[in-house]
Structure 1
Amino acid sequence: MDSDPGPIYRSKRHYIGVDVGTGSARALIIDEDGKSVASASKAIDEWQPQPGIHEQSVSQIWDSVCHAVKEVLSQSGIQPESVRSIAFVATCSLAIFTHDTNEPVAAGGRESTDKDHNVILWMDQRAKLETEAINKTQHELLKYLGGSMSVLMELPKILWLKHHMSEADFRRCKFYDLNDALTYVATGNQQFPCTKMCTRDALPIGVDGTAKGWSREFLEAVQLEILAAEDFKRVGGVCRHGRAPPAGTSAGHLCERSARDLGLNPDVTVGVGTIDSYSGWVGTAGLSFDGQQDFPLHSRMAVVAGTSACYIVASRKPVFVEGIWGPYQDWVLPGHWMSEGGQIATGMLLRHVIEVHPAYDAALELANNSDLNIYDFLDRHLEHMRSKSGAPDVSYLGRNYFYYGDLYGNRSPIADASMTGSVVGLTGDKSIDNLAIQYYGALEFIALQMRHVISMMNEAGTEVNSLFISGSVANNANLMRLIATSCGMPVIIPRRAGAAVCFGAAMLAVTAETPTSSTSSLWLVMQNLGQQGEIQQPEKNSLLKDLLDVKYIIYLEQCERQRVFRDMVEKAISSHLDRPA
């Protein structure tokens, strides 16, 4: 009997978290003690009809979600009746339906014929002109986005659709944040209000408590007054009680059809989800570790880093910072103000740096022959170079290499989409040694830019003194050492760093099924079910620390000089164009 886990699992309560990422849907089952029971994933298709345009399908995403949930149930061996709740988190992508018939609407505007492609992916950059137009209004609400709206957000995409659809077709549209769309599909409740889009991308007045809900005046200022018509029904309607329900509250139960699709019972509670990065905060900020009492909630910054990175902190008071999105009151955790910075490219930057180097193919072959991934191989190669040369530290090897890596623009802390990369220290060396140095330079940049973001936030009033890092890059020991020492604060890493977003979704499901809900329910769940964390302490009085302090000054100079150089060139061009023929 002891060898059969079936009866044990049937006696427990179970919870499912679903993470819909850019390329796959992942499901995770945890038990009432927070133990991960099983996980599974299913790929999601993406269509890129033109460069910079990225589309997906809600129905295809839902099929992937259902496949992952059924697979995880099969793997775990638990009975569906033991599952008490489920929560969906997803990328901040825009899903489009008709408000009258709830049919999908083609995301490509009048030129698109496939209505099943009804999601504009978060990374889509089609709405650059619309973003510029919104920012030119200099509306006071832009302060909640660090001073300007990003092309990655949803409101510029909606404005793009207005410009590329017939007026009649656009008037029929209803817009969902993707995780709200999944909640709608799961519950069958089309009246469920858009909880994230109306708090983050549509800029409600009232994050400071002066008013609540959608801002009709702002929508009129950006030429989207149609969204305010009929009590804002095209963007989810008026939020209940004047404010969107926090993540982890109940959105209802599975409808009969969705329960069948998922292989679950209709009495399963559906928790209010959130954007995937914030679910990563839920799955990361409550880690257990020695000395955790010295790091209260408001001092913990969660860094959710994979392809890109998000830096999220829950503050005790509203803090406005240039280049930082927020503060958003009561969005994820009641009584706290969420602020978010980020890097557009983190893992993607590292991948680019190594793949364009002439020695990449040779290094990859050696890594494969050693059963290592390319990053572990380069880390080992750096240590080999250090040992062979007698260098006092790996950082010494790249002492004269200065890399600035905003290859895809800057999200934080300066919110400048026109930023690019720059390098001082290039040579004609095409060897694997040089590849390793360039890779290490990119690691340094990530750590230095994180220091820049945190410094600006703390100067403005946040109280960050510790970093809780999850995602694929958290497995990079060199990077964790650089971040801890550059920022001068401990880094805490979950033992299952790659599962933090899905684990956070499962904790939202637990919270939604908690009998007595209160403002502290989610934080209590995060503490009680949080994974064990491992600590990387910052180095003091070391060569690495001294080099990083100097390189931070150089990093700031590289950032500023690029902008100065651009201004000089623009003045020269303007002067030439202004001359008479």
Structure 2
Amino acid sequence: MSGGEQKPERYYVGVDVGTGSVRAALVDQSGVLLAFADQPIKKWEPQFNHHEQSSEDIWAACCVVTKNLRETCWDKAGHFFDLPDFLSWKATGVTARSLCSLVCKWTYSAERGWDDSFWKMIGLEDFVADNYSKIGNQVLPPGASLGNGLTPEAARDLGLLPGIAVAASLIDAHAGGLGVIGADVKGHGLVCEGQPVTSRLAVICGTSSCHMGISKDPIFVPGVWGPYFSAMVPGFWLNEGGQSVTGKLIDHMVEGHAAFPELQVKATARCQSVYAYLNSHLDLIKKAQPVGFLTVDLHVWPDFHGNRSPLADLTLKGMVTGLKLSQDLDDLAILYLATVQAIALGTRFIIEAMEAAGHSISTLFLCGGLSKNPLFVQMHADVTGMPVVLSQEVESVLVGAAILGACASGDFASVQEAMAKMSKVGKVVFPRLQDKKYYDKKYQVFLKLVEHQKEYLAIMNDN
């Protein structure tokens, strides 16, 4: 390139397959989201609590959203894919698997590979045949380039050019973690500025919540998944905590309340979401005290769908104590607040388990749908006593996916370099430290709730 020529702009497409839709974004080299598209995907519920989706329908939705951006089944060969690897195969024809999927969802070890004895023990020794060709014998770290990029057929379906680099994928929550955890925090007054990246916890909050912490050496945390080597950030071990159906729980509590129809009418009249309306209603009824103090006598244990971390007990149930006969809008707002606090208290519970095992966490990096809710963010800061960093780009999962593409294209030397350049801090929410004593008490009650639930179970099971 001659001195007078300008280097052409480079762009990356991040694709995120969620529970209800496929979303895509066009992201530039500085991590700015330039265009966005989404497309719903079909869901079937043949029986209660049994959900099915079609991978072919998901691929079709990927094609729609990618084409929209530009305009602004398992195969009979006998391969078994996780969805991210299926989509990579559809795009490139390459059957290589992502280390992330195999390590986090299967029984693959980054150090030792597959374990023959496991498959034989469960009667699936067929998978061992032909050097594990059915489930993956070429395993690549996230961000590695797959084959020769987009095949002509996939390029036509997606509305892109053949040969565009395609990266080995990440699970959606892990892409969110990648999209936030490496942000340059200089000038924001954060203690993690002088600390290693291992002091950061990425919390991806949507239908469920995932808590992604990384470490230089493997740390085993009871009730928290992992450690997985290079499953999110290359060269680091990942521990993954989680809370089941957090976003769904908030919806369940609000939509099932007697005052919900009134809330809908009032929110619609103000052209607000029901949650924006509830947040402003809480500010209205708090009087002289901080909003969080409205739940002094209302407490929630949030495991309506069992506990994933740190108790790993799917039999646990939800609990609410402090209910009254009245069911007006004030009561709905306070129950909503108590539910949000319970989810934040659950995050604190996970953090304490991680720290007890050897993690040292000072700062939360939130992304996902619930991170758009200011009350949810503030409660996480207040309950944990830690500052919460929000990304400049709200769609952090898509930025994380685009970071992988940027790395696969060769424009960045490593995932870490791409993370530092493409992740930007948007807002920092600091905890109200003057309220610490109150939240410490709420946490004591929180732990008592599950302790008592186990006592009730023991009484009922006593012969």
Fold shared per TM-score above 0.5: yes
User: After superposition, what is the alpha-carbon deviation per residue over 1:378-425, rounded to whole angstroms, capped at 9, x for unaligned?
Assistant: 1111111113xxx42222221011111111111111111111111110
What do the CA deviations read for 1:329-356 (whole angstroms, capped 9, x no partner)?
1223222101101111111111111111
Give matches, 1:167-316, under 5 Å.
173-189=78-94, 191-193=95-97, 195-204=99-108, 206=109, 209=111, 212-236=112-136, 238-239=137-138, 244-252=139-147, 253-289=149-185, 290-291=188-189, 293-316=193-216
Question: Equivalent residue of 1:271, what SS?
Answer: coil
Give the conservation status (yes or no) of the 8 Å contact 2:98–2:142: no
Map of 2:239 onto structure 1: 339
Name the structure 2 match of 1:529. 422
Letter in 2 for 1:48: E
Per the alignment, in what secondary structure is the counterpart of residue 247 of structure 1?
A: coil
State how 1:449-488 maps to structure 2 within 5 Å. 449-488=346-385
Aligned to 2:52: 55
Conservation of the 8 A alpha-carbon contact between 1:28 and 1:36: yes
Q: Secondary structure at the match of 2:212?
A: strand
- Comparing 356-365 with 212-221, greater Cα deviation is found at 212-221
Matches within 5 A, 1:327-476: 327-387=227-287, 391-476=288-373
Determine whether 1:36 maps to 2:14. Answer: no
- Specify the code of the residue in structure 1 equivalent to 2:140: P
Which residue of structure 2 lines up, in the alignment, with residue 157 of structure 1? none
- The answer as to whether partners of 2:97 and 2:168 remain within 8 angstroms in 1 is no
User: Partner of 2:12: helix, strand, or coil?
Assistant: strand
Residue 100 of structure 2 contacts residue 171 of structure 2 at CA under 8 Å; is this kept in 1?
A: yes
- Give the whole-Å Cα distance in 2 for the aligned partners of 1:33 and 1:395: 37
SS in 1 for 2:177: helix
Shift of 1:430: 1.0
1: distance between equivalents of 2:342 and 2:412? 46
C-alpha deviation, 1:223, in angstroms: 3.4
CA contact (8 A) 2:399 2:422 kept: no
Give 1:10 deviation, angstroms. 10
Report how far residue 63 of structure 1 moved. 1.2
Partner of 2:3: none
**How far apart, CA to CA, are the structure 1 residues paired with 2:344 and 2:318?**
16
Q: 1:356 to 1:515 in 2, by over 3 A?
A: closer
Alignment partners' CA distance in 2, 1:395 and 1:34: 35
Q: CA deviation at 1:23?
A: 1.3
Once the two structures are superposed, residues 192-222 of structure 1 have per-residue CA deviations (whole angstroms, 9 ceiling, x without a partner) of 2353342122223x45x4xx11111122333
CA distance in 1, matches of 2:7, 2:45: 44
Deviations 1:63-90 (A, max 9, x none): 1111111111110xxxxxxxxxxxxxxx
The aligned counterpart of 2:218 is 318
Q: Which blocks of at least 5 consecutive residues in structure 2 are unaligned?
A: 1-5
Alignment of 1:540-555 (within 5 A): 540=433, 542=434, 544-555=435-446
Bigger mean CA deviation after superposition, 289-298 or 278-287: 289-298
What is the distance in 2 between the residues matched to 1:202 and 1:66?
27
Describe how 1:100-179 pairs up with structure 2 within 5 A: 100=77, 173-179=78-84
Distance in 1 of aligned mates of 2:122 and 2:309: 24
TM superposition shift of 1:293 = 2.3
Output the CA distance in 2 between the equivalents of 1:492 and 1:303. Answer: 10
Alignment correspondent of 1:566: 457
For the Cα contact (< 8 Å) 2:155–2:162, is it kept in 1?
yes
CA contact (8 A) 1:495 1:534 kept: yes
Q: CA deviation at 1:248?
A: 0.7
Which residue is 1:78 aligned to?
A: none
Helix, strand or coil at the partner of 2:231: coil
Q: How many residues align?
A: 454
C-alpha separation in 2, matches of 1:433 and 1:412: 32
1:278-308 residue CA offsets vs partner (Å, 9 max, x unmatched): 0001111123332462242111110010111
- 1:158 corresponds in structure 2 to none
Note the alpha carbon deviations across 1:35-67, whole angstroms, 9 max, x for none: 222111111111111112222222211111111
Letter in 1 for 2:348: R
Q: Distance in 2 between matches of 1:469 and 1:523?
A: 19
User: Equivalent residue for 2:74?
Assistant: 96
The answer on whether the counterparts of 2:175 and 2:398 sit within 8 Å (CA) in structure 1 is: yes
Aligned-residue identity in percent: 34
- CA deviation digits over 1:517-556, x for unaligned, max 9? 4xxx11111111112331111222x2x3211100101111
In structure 1, runs of 5+ residues without a counterpart are: 1-8, 76-94, 101-172, 576-581
Question: Matches of 2:400 and 2:357 in 1, distance apart?
Answer: 28
What is the identity, as a one-letter code, of the residue corresponding to 1:247?
P
Q: Structure 2 counterpart of 1:285, which letter?
A: I
Which residue number corresponds to residue 398 of structure 2? 502
C-alpha distance in 1 between matches for 2:368 and 2:29: 24
- Residue 327 of structure 1 aligns to a residue whose secondary structure is strand
Identify which of structures 1 and 2 has the higher relative contact order when contacts are C-alpha pairs closer than 8 Å and 6+ apart: 2
- The structural deviation recorded for 1:273 is 0.9
2 CA distance for matches of 1:471 and 1:53? Answer: 24
> Is the partner of 2:74 in helix, strand or coil?
strand
- Is the Cα contact below 8 Å between 2:182 and 2:423 reproduced in 1? yes
1:156-213 Cα deviation digits (max 9, x unpaired): xxxxxxxxxxxxxxxxx43101000000000012x32353342122223x45x4xx11
Which one of 408, 414, 428 corresponds to residue 512 of structure 1? 408
Say which SS state the counterpart of residue 196 (structure 1) adopts. helix
Give, in angstroms, the shift of residue 486 of structure 1. Answer: 1.4
Contact map agreement 2:301 2:446 (CA 8 A) in 1: yes
Letter in 1 for 2:386: M
**Aligned partner of residue 427 in structure 2, secondary structure:** strand
**Contact kept in structure 1, 2:175 and 2:400, CA below 8 Å:** yes
Amino acid in the other structure paired with 1:97: D
Preserved contact between residue 295 and residue 466 of structure 1 (Cα < 8 Å) = no
TM-score calculated relative to the size of structure 2? 0.94
Q: Hey, what does 1:72 align to over in structure 2? A: 69
Amino acid at match of 2:36: S
Distance 1:176 1:440, change over 3 A: same
Amino acid paired to 2:296: R
1:10/1:523 CA distance change after superposition, 3 Å: closer
